[in-house]
Copies of this chain bind each other. A is one copy, B any other.
Amino acid sequence: MKKLVSVALEKLKKEGLRITEQRRAILTVLASVDQPKSAEETFAILPEDSCDLVTAYRCLEQFEKVGVVERGVRENGTKVYCLGHGHGHHHHLTCRSCGRTERIDLCMGTELDAVAKSFGFTEVTHVMEVFGNCPTCV
């Protein structure tokens, strides 16, 4: 998991962003969990006084901008972020009641790109989240 953090930090540097204790802490949290987290959740896991909640929001936004983290959306609209798990783009299956998350590699990014481009759209991105009730929560 340590590696994920240093790779991320490396990328930050490459993109001209500065490396601070706060950013290192946030990335460490994201690397230690296996599910996408919202800014507030990430903040809650952070060691006491690592940084301000606002900083968490700002950092995550920056991280996303340079591609260090991927952003998803919860069923209720909350934005969530996760490190690329070293495997780039992927999606998640999340339990509505307990939040348990499984990784899904299924993705039709290529097809979507093609369709979007046929409409003349550029810089195509997509958000996809799958929700359900997991076996232990039924």
A residues lining the B interface (CB < 8 Å): 73, 75-79, 93, 95-96, 102, 104, 106, 108, 111-112, 115-116, 119-135, 138
Contacts and interface: CB of A to CB of B under 8 A. Distances in A.
How many copies are assembled? Answer: 2
Contacts of A125: 75, 130-132
A104 B93 contact: no
A134 B121 contact: yes
B124 A126 contact: no
Contacts of A134: 119-121
Contacts of A119: 93, 102, 134-135
A134 B102 CA distance: 33
Shortest beta-carbon contacts, A-B, top 7: A121-B132, A120-B135, A77-B77, A124-B132, A128-B128, A126-B130, A73-B73
